[in-house]
Amino acid sequence: MAMHIALTFDDNFWAPAYATMRSVCLFTHRRQDLVFHLCHRTLSDTHRADLERIGEEFPVELRWYDLDRSEMFRDIAARMPENKRLSNIVYARLMIDRLVGPEVERILYLDCDMLVRDDVGHLFDLGLDGNSIAAVRDTIGAFITGGRDLKNNRDLFDPADYYFNAGLVLIDIAAWREADIIGRMEAAYASGVMQRIYYDQDLLNLIFKDKWLKLPWRWNVIDARHAHEGLDPAILHYTGENKPWGIFSGMLQSVAYARLYRHVMTNELFYRFARHRWKRWWKRKLGLGR
């Protein structure tokens, strides 16, 4: 059975996308079943060639979706609230049902700031028990929705309700399509709700309230720290300020599996990505663009 996995990224995040994909491949025996759906934008030929090396090392299939050529994505990204930290590439996962072919019945969405160290086949073998999706409860979900003193958006979210992190979502495509995600987002934007909430993650929690299967925490360890290593996490999610692709030892001491991450990304790509980020930083510093 094919294991379909979707990632979304732009040209400044190609190396972490590579690391996430490669970690999936390294930690499963079902490599021949893997199909990666790569939803990208602004991707250079050089960086695409780096990603294509996944298919040279492992017997996997890569399917490419150039979002810059998608009129629907361009329209949505231009009109919805801008995600200054992540860019509006985050909205691409909402239209995943409209990108993949009819043969795809279930797909696993993964953020590209993740390191996988267990077999994702376990997730594909799960029954959803009548739910539309499966995900992991967010450790600070109440603060995300409620903000300071947990008083915001109480007309939309009850802090007593479980709230999931959308960095990992196992999706039943038929149920996702039936939920009409894009239509619901358009309605939320027209009513002013989208302008109040935490981008697409809040929206998905509103749409799938009481319709998601709660996965064990180890499948999405949010803000993965060094202390998590002793708890046998399956997927590390580097949501904190310190990232495993940093090059300063002080920053990495608190990040889980930083050394493993560097070798999963490969040393060559790790240091090339570091130079890429330094170049971007200096351009911004000198006012030369992103």
Query: What's phi and psi for 167, nearest 5 deg?
Result: -70, -25
* pLDDT given at position 78: 81
What sign does the dihedral 246-42-82-162 (CA atoms) show?
Answer: negative
The shares of helix, strand and coil residues in the chain, as percent rounded to the nearest 5, are: 45, 20, 35
* pLDDT given at position 77: 81
Q: pTM for the complete prediction?
A: 0.94
Query: What's phi and psi for 48, nearest 5 deg?
Result: -65, -40
Domain map of the chain by residue range? 3-285
Mean pLDDT of the chain: 92
Judge contact between 256 and 226, C-beta under 8 A. Answer: yes
* pLDDT given at position 254: 84
Judge contact between 22 and 52, C-beta under 8 A. Answer: no
What sign does the dihedral 83-85-87-92 (CA atoms) show?
Answer: negative
* pLDDT given at position 80: 76
Q: What is the CATH number of domain 3-285?
A: 3.90.550.10
Mean pLDDT, each 10-residue run in order, the chain (290 residues)? 96 97 98 98 96 98 95 84 67 91 97 98 97 96 93 94 97 96 91 88 95 98 94 96 78 84 97 89 66
What contacts 132, CB < 8 A, 6 or more positions away? 171, 172, 175, 176, 179, 208, 211, 212
